[in-house]
């Protein structure tokens, strides 16, 4: 079949707006002069060295990493059982649970951030770190529930019944039969939650406090004062790291269509 020229045109436009901005940032990070510029006027790695050596970035990077890891694990710990119960049992308020797990996806991040802030101010018991952890867990939880639910739907209840009839307790049958078969959903949920938490701005914006900052917030603040290629270099590093993680997971688990 002959491809219509409009189809080619839309393909090209899609490519440009998808990849173009990242390419600009990528090239700008090697710019020797101290303003963001495209096309670059030369080549240097000095911005990378500078950014890596800056304590504010180091500190917030480690914190963001920890926050993303902990909130992802916490959301798995909460979300997988919620998904399991929703998929396997009928109970009153099931629709409400389903609705609640879609809320953070539908509601604008700023609104969610404000709501969480008011909520924690009212409670007034948690440290900034705990507040951030709970806030991030709340916004990534829906990804876990939905992704796990989608995998559970493909695993008939009779498979669990079979395991139990063969002598596996309900708990054993969950770990020996259910978990291995929803692995793909859980891993993809983990990647989604990790990236979502690590990149989150609106929630963190409201919940960060003195001395506790996530990397995206520190980057935003930095950009307000210094508009030089160091931010581009940092962005390039982040994009590279994210791609590396996704590729690594795909390689290890052999899952091609994870996300």
Minimum CB distance to another protein, residue 144 (Å): 21
Q: Which of residues 119-178 bind another protein (CB under 8 A)?
A: 155-156, 158-159, 161-170, 172-173, 176-177
Name 191's Cβ contacts closer than 8 Å, sequence gap at least 6: 245, 246, 249, 258, 259
Applying CB under 8 A, what is the total number of residues that bind another protein?
20
Residue number with CB closer to another protein (41 or 164) = 164
Counting contacts by CB under 8 A, is residue 240 touching another protein?
no
Distances (CA, A) of 133 to 65, 116, 130, 209, 232: 12, 11, 5, 13, 28
Q: Is 189 within 8 Å of 142 (Cβ atoms)?
A: no
Contact 86, 152 (CB under 8 A): no
Smallest separation, CB 145 to another protein (Å): 22
The residue among 39 and 180 lying less far from another protein, judged by its C-beta, is: 180
Q: How far is residue 88's CA from residue 79's CA, in Å, rounded to a whole number? A: 14
Least Cβ distance, residue 182 to another protein (angstroms): 10
CB of 63 to another protein, least distance (A): 37
Encoded one letter per residue, x for contact with another protein by CB under 8 A and - for no contact, window 46-75 reads: ------------------------------
Task: Tell me the closest approach of the beta carbon of residue 185 to another protein, in angstroms.
Answer: 13
Shortest CB 50 distance to another protein, Å: 49
Of 177-216, binders to another protein (CB under 8 A) are 177, 180-181
- Looking at residue 33, what DSSP letter applies? S
**44 backbone φψ class: left, alpha, beta (φ>0; ψ -120 to 50):** beta
Own/partner contacts of 33-39, CB < 8 Å, gap of 24 or more, are 34/228, 34/229, 35/227, 35/228, 35/229, 36/227, 36/228, 36/229, 36/231, 36/232, 37/229
For the CA atoms of the chain, what is the radius of gyration?
22
In the complex with another protein, which residue's Cβ is closer, 210 or 254? 254
User: 89 vs 225, which CB is nearer to another protein?
Assistant: 89
- Closer Cβ to another protein, 124 or 158, answer by number: 158
Q: Which is nearer to another protein, 108 or 254 (CB)?
A: 254
> Taking the complex as a whole, how short is the minimal distance between the CB of residue 92 and another protein, in angstroms?
12
> d(Cα 17, Cα 11) in Å, to the nearest integer?
10
Residue 91's region, left for phi above 0, alpha for psi from -120 to 50, else beta, is beta
**Which parts of this chain interact with another protein (CB under 8 A)?**
155-156, 158-159, 161-170, 172-173, 176-177, 180-181
């Amino acid at each position: 079949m002959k491809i219509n020229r409009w189809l080619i045109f839309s393909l090209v436009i899609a490519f440009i707006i998808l990849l173009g901005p990242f390419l600009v940032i990528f090239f700008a990070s090697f710019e020797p002069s101290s303003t963001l510029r495209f096309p670059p006027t030369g080549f240097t790695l000095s911005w990378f060295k500078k950014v890596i050596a800056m304590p504010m970035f180091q500190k917030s990077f480690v914190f963001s990493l920890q926050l993303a890891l902990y909130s992802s694990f916490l959301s798995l710990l909460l979300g997988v059982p919620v998904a399991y119960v929703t998929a396997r049992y009928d109970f009153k308020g099931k629709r409400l649970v389903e609705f609640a797990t879609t809320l953070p996806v539908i509601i604008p991040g700023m609104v969610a951030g404000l709501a969480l802030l008011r909520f924690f101010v009212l409670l007034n018991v948690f440290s900034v770190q705990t507040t951030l952890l709970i806030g991030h867990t709340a916004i990534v939880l829906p990804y876990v529930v939905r992704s796990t639910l989608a995998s559970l739907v493909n695993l008939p209840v009779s498979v669990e019944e079979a395991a139990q009839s063969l002598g596996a307790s309900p708990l054993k049958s969950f770990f020996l039969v259910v978990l291995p078969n929803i692995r793909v959903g859980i891993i993809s949920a983990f990647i989604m939650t990790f990236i979502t938490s690590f990149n989150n701005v609106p929630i963190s914006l409201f919940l960060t406090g003195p001395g506790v900052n996530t990397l995206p917030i520190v980057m935003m603040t930095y950009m307000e004062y210094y508009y030089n290629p160091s931010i581009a270099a940092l962005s390039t590093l982040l994009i590279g790291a994210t791609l590396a993680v996704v590729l690594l997971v795909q390689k290890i688990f052999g899952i091609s269509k994870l996300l």
